[in-house]
Amino acid sequence: MIRIITIEREYGCGGGDIAQLVARRLGWKLWDQSLTEEIARLARCPRAVAEGREERTDPLYYRLFKSFMRGSFEGSMNAPKLNLVDSEAIVRITQRVVEHAAKRGNVVIVGRGSQQFLKDRSDTLRVFLYAPRENKIRRLVARGKAEKEAEELIDTVDGERADFIRKYFNVEWPDRGIYHAMISTSCGDEATMRMILNFMEAYAPCAIA
């Protein structure tokens, strides 16, 4: 029985919207923005800070700063322990939240490495969504982005996600072997949602509860 769906996505392909449609149709809880909010709560940091660190590696200047700060302060026995909200801390918290959500079941989880954290669970359907570049640009422009900005975001965000997956899971992004289905969203959000649900129904007999 499938109790969890993870949806990894290329930036701009509509993965968040489609995940919302899937969760609504199934009556399951959606972990997307609420996942970021829970990570921020556990990290005791503003939501914007958590959002800026998830699915990313720390930039070089931040890694150097972190190393300097830890060397300067943590080496002193009289100094309080330094608590930095970096990407590594966010990954550890994310894993806790994702595994807790999976334990409860009936959830749709968007990105954040969830497909890797839950790769050994037989009750999880792992989906990767993508789209032609022009489709992604059109979607982002329709949401108010300038065309040039949309192109830059498509390149940089997916690059950051690839770096994140490579660093923390030691695999290339997308890790094709881990997914049960890779679907182009160019056919529309509703059609993509139906394909995911149809695949879930077809795959269910293969899953072991």
State pLDDT tens for residues 32-78: 999 999 999 999 888 998 898 899 886 543 444 444 444 444 444 44
Tracing tokens 């026995």 back to the chain, one arrives at 77
Residues of the chain whose pLDDT is less than 50?
60-83, 209
Terminal alpha carbon distance of the chain:
5
Task: For residue 207, tell me if it sits in a domain.
Answer: no
Q: Is the bond preceding residue 174 a cis peptide, omega within 30 degrees?
A: yes
Q: pTM for the whole thing?
A: 0.87
Give the pLDDT confidence score for residue 53 in this predicted structure: 85
Domain membership of residue 140 (yes or no) is yes
Neighbours of 204 (CB within 10 A): 13
Domain with 42, as residue range(s), is 4-202
Cα dihedral value 140, 108, 175, 184, nearest 10:
-50
| pLDDT score, position 84 | 59
Q: Is residue 208 part of a domain?
A: no
Provide the number of structural domains found in the chain: 1
**Do the domain assignments include residue 66?**
yes
Phi, psi angles (nearest 5°) of residue 56: -140, 155
Q: In DSSP terms, which residues pair with 127 in a beta bridge?
A: 7, 181
* Phi and psi torsions of 49, nearest 5°: -70, -45
pLDDT of residue 143: 95
Question: Is 93 contained in some domain?
Answer: yes
Domain contains 95: yes
Confirm whether 209 is domain-assigned: no
| pLDDT the model gives residue 208 | 57
Tell me, what CATH number does 82's domain have? 3.40.50.300
- 11: CB partners within 8 A, 6+ apart: 136, 153, 154, 157, 158, 161
Q: What are residue 110's DSSP bridge partners?
A: 7
Pair of tokens at residue 86: 């970096």
- Residues 184 and 79: their CA atoms lie apart, in Å, by 53
C-alpha to C-alpha distance for 145 and 128, rounded to whole angstroms: 24
Asked whether residue 59 is domain-assigned, the answer is: yes
